[in-house]
Chain A
């Protein structure tokens, strides 16, 4: 019982990441009708926002102190982070909480990247065939990841979890199991709640604001909204930026769980596309539900008991589910009729 519960929990954080990326993909589909193969790269860029924020904040001065000697006899190098010299203890806190704080950097940066991408390239591809949209965004994804590789190098750069939330959360004790029987790393819990929060915020934004209402109307019938004198293109551009922010934030908060490297975007992109297909192209709820579902399925498949029965199932479970779903229910779990079917 607790083994099953543990796997359920384990799947939640990964599912959260899938859901966030799939949500952005679906938003871009629904609004602009563009298949964005560069969406995984946006996730990766978000993660590198966190990396660069930390590099910025941990810039330090190195002074060689000839009075003190290090244990092996050389003069001691005294490293003081600039943040600490300027802000004192507050600087130390800043360094400790660099990952969550880099959200503040990531939001404007990702919004800008998203809008530049849409205005710069993608807007010219609305009327082009889907194959060309796929190709151009695929090329863009390669460019983005190579630029990141040129700047940050090919190796993963691990990011620390803030000290205060480094422990594990005793889920078992809460639901009446023996203490310590079922624990869950706090950061994973935070990631899950964070992804729920972002998803909720996006849905609320679409549902309860005038802007969101116009966007939903535009998704249903773009032409009529345009005829009513509303500049729907500008709103869709902003939605692209928003999708970029969602992917970026998913990337920022994921850095402590998976040290960011330049090619993680593609790894997540393939999975997220599968998620979108399983959830049903064009359905926001479907994307989120399928994200969590596949995350949990994947964590179940990586249980040793399951792996003994079907070796290698953890590597392919997601693709297998996608194949079965597409054969049994071609539109996906919650897909609408006529979405991207031509």
Chain B
């Protein structure tokens, strides 16, 4: 298998990553986050983030509409459940194909412009999809009530093979219904495949080309290079990753709603990526996990928890402090998210990976590389 051959460095990264992901139920135990629903969310968000990073991290094109592809993927997967079969593989393949087609159409138009225009165009397309899903396309999307499975869905293949049992069927893999951890392991394996593909893209000539486009697109054009097929391919791949994430959301919970397509969801994946480190392999995954973890922990807090937390302070101080702090947890989680966003962009634009690198450099006390070797910002 030639495709599986890779440099030792990448192989080590991949094996370490696989161990970390598969051992999640173990090391998340002390953190109190080792239940399947949350771990599935970790894994799916990570897929979304690394897919987004293929576009933003490698080419520098900042898309503000990636949530649309997640939504499309979810709808496609649920429709596959409804029309064909409850098996997850056809659903995932169908979802990835449909979101890839969407990405092709949207990318073809949006990539005619770059920079801020591109961001606005993708945002406009995502809003368009959201508005349509909410209004005219209700026969397909079921609008506000979300698309759900019903008892009298056709499910052609399933019905041809066996008579349906009572009650709503659940997604299954070759007839085995997922229960608890199995769903998580399935998503984890998908994440590993996605990570492997990303690893390959990062070290391929194609990945180099994308980085070259990021550092200086004009120069690429002057050397007689048509950059658009490359950026479009990156856009479609990253859209397919988003669609895959959407399909997995539908696999873990066969329900598709419009809220997955909202601009806030697009903003969240941007934040995950920059928090972890744009353009790095592991960064987006770390960003996604941190945000999902804190979202889960913080939104569960309420005023009482906060008051207990600050109860070591004298009451004159504890009351105002906990009153302020309670604005940042529970319902106010978005406020924390926004602040985090601002702080990360101001102080650590390279994300956590950049921070780790800086700390590492401090300890190594190595002399900084001469100015000529440092990357120069492209003009």
Partners in one complex: yes
- Taking a contact as CB atoms closer than 8 A, the residue among B119, B127, B342 that contacts A143 in the complex is B342
For window 273-332 of A, CB contacts with B under 8 Å fall at: 273-274, 277, 281, 311-312, 315-316, 319-320, 322-323, 326-327, 330
A150 within 8 A of B: yes
Q: How far is the CB of A316 from chain B (nearest CB, A)?
A: 5
Name the prevailing secondary structure of the A interface residues: helix
Q: How far is the CB of A335 from chain B (nearest CB, A)?
A: 10
Beta-carbon contact of A35 and B116 below 8 Å: yes
B137 within 8 A of A: yes
Q: How far is the CB of A56 from chain B (nearest CB, A)?
A: 22
Indicate whether A277 sits within 8 Å of B128 (C-beta atoms), given known contacts A124-B346, A146-B334, A326-B113: no
Beta-carbon contact of A312 and B135 below 8 Å: yes
Beta-carbon contact of B115 and A138 below 8 Å: no
Beta-carbon contact of B62 and A142 below 8 Å: no
Beta-carbon contact of A315 and B335 below 8 Å: no
Chain A residue at minimum C-beta to C-beta distance from B217? A342
B359 within 8 A of A: no
Beta-carbon contact of B132 and A274 below 8 Å: no
- Taking a contact as CB atoms closer than 8 A, the residue among A121, A274, A281, A340 that contacts B124 in the complex is A274
B263 within 8 A of A: yes
B337 within 8 A of A: yes
Q: Which residues of B contact A340 (CB under 8 A)?
A: 115-117
B274 within 8 A of A: yes
Beta-carbon contact of B62 and A143 below 8 Å: no
- Taking a contact as CB atoms closer than 8 A, the residue among B113, B127, B136, B339 that contacts A319 in the complex is B127
B299 within 8 A of A: no
Beta-carbon contact of B124 and A139 below 8 Å: no
Q: Which residues of A contact B274 (CB under 8 A)?
A: 135
Beta-carbon contact of B335 and A147 below 8 Å: yes
Stretch at the interface among A66-74, A126-134, A199-207: A126-134
Beta-carbon contact of B117 and A326 below 8 Å: yes
Q: How far is the CB of B100 from chain A (nearest CB, A)?
A: 20
- Taking a contact as CB atoms closer than 8 A, the residue among B112, B124, B345 that contacts A322 in the complex is B124
Q: Which residues of A contact B109 (CB under 8 A)?
A: 323, 326-327
Beta-carbon contact of B132 and A315 below 8 Å: yes
Q: Which residues of A contact B334 (CB under 8 A)?
A: 142, 146
- Taking a contact as CB atoms closer than 8 A, the residue among B60, B117, B270 that contacts A135 in the complex is B270
Q: How far is the CB of B58 from chain A (nearest CB, A)?
A: 13
In the bound complex, CA of A320 to CA of B62 (Å): 21
Beta-carbon contact of B121 and A326 below 8 Å: yes
In the bound complex, CA of A333 to CA of B187 (Å): 48
Q: How far is the CB of A341 from chain B (nearest CB, A)?
A: 7
Q: How far is the CB of B346 from chain A (nearest CB, A)?
A: 6
Beta-carbon contact of B113 and A138 below 8 Å: no
Indicate whether A134 sits within 8 Å of B62 (C-beta atoms), given known contacts A326-B121, A330-B112: yes
In the bound complex, CA of A141 to CA of B327 (Å): 17
In the bound complex, CA of A139 to CA of B344 (Å): 10
A189 within 8 A of B: no
For window 118-166 of B, CB contacts with A under 8 Å fall at: 119-121, 123-125, 127-128, 131-132, 134-137
Q: How far is the CB of B30 from chain A (nearest CB, A)?
A: 31
B338 within 8 A of A: yes
- Taking a contact as CB atoms closer than 8 A, the residue among A140, A273, A281, A312 that contacts B136 in the complex is A312
In the bound complex, CA of A327 to CA of B125 (Å): 14
The size of the chain A interface, using a CB distance under 8 A, is 39
Q: Which residues of B contact A131 (CB under 8 A)?
A: 60, 62, 119
Indicate whether A139 sits within 8 Å of B342 (C-beta atoms), given known contacts A150-B332, A277-B117: yes
Chain B residue at minimum C-beta to C-beta distance from A273? B120
Q: How far is the CB of B141 from chain A (nearest CB, A)?
A: 12
A99 within 8 A of B: no
Chain B residue at minimum C-beta to C-beta distance from A313? B136
In the bound complex, CA of A273 to CA of B116 (Å): 10
Beta-carbon contact of A323 and B121 below 8 Å: yes
A266 within 8 A of B: yes
B349 within 8 A of A: yes
A92 within 8 A of B: no
Beta-carbon contact of B116 and A130 below 8 Å: yes
Beta-carbon contact of B345 and A312 below 8 Å: no
A93 within 8 A of B: no
Q: Which residues of A contact B339 (CB under 8 A)?
A: 139, 143
In the bound complex, CA of A341 to CA of B335 (Å): 33
Indicate whether A315 sits within 8 Å of B124 (C-beta atoms), given known contacts A134-B119, A139-B345, A146-B332: no
Beta-carbon contact of B338 and A143 below 8 Å: yes
Beta-carbon contact of A312 and B341 below 8 Å: no
Q: How far is the CB of A265 from chain B (nearest CB, A)?
A: 12
Q: Which residues of A contact B36 (CB under 8 A)?
A: none
Indicate whether A270 sits within 8 Å of B127 (C-beta atoms), given known contacts A121-B346, A150-B327: yes
Mask: chain A, 98-128; 1 = CB below 8 Å from B; 0 = not: 0000000000000000000000010010001
B267 within 8 A of A: yes
Nearest first, the 10 closest Cβ-Cβ pairs linking A and B are A312-B136, A139-B341, A142-B338, A146-B335, A143-B338, A139-B342, A315-B131, A136-B345, A319-B128, A319-B124
List B residues at the A interface (Cβ < 8 Å).
60, 62, 64, 109, 112-117, 119-121, 123-125, 127-128, 131-132, 134-137, 218, 263, 267, 270-271, 274, 327, 332, 334-335, 337-342, 345-346, 349
- Please, could you name 14 A-B residue pairs with CB atoms under 8 Å apart, sorted by A? A128-B349, A130-B115, A134-B64, A135-B62, A135-B274, A136-B345, A139-B271, A139-B341, A141-B338, A142-B337, A312-B135, A312-B136, A323-B121, A326-B112
Given contacts A143-B338, A266-B263, 10 further A-B contacts (CB under 8 A): A131-B119, A139-B345, A142-B338, A274-B120, A312-B137, A315-B131, A315-B132, A315-B135, A316-B131, A320-B128
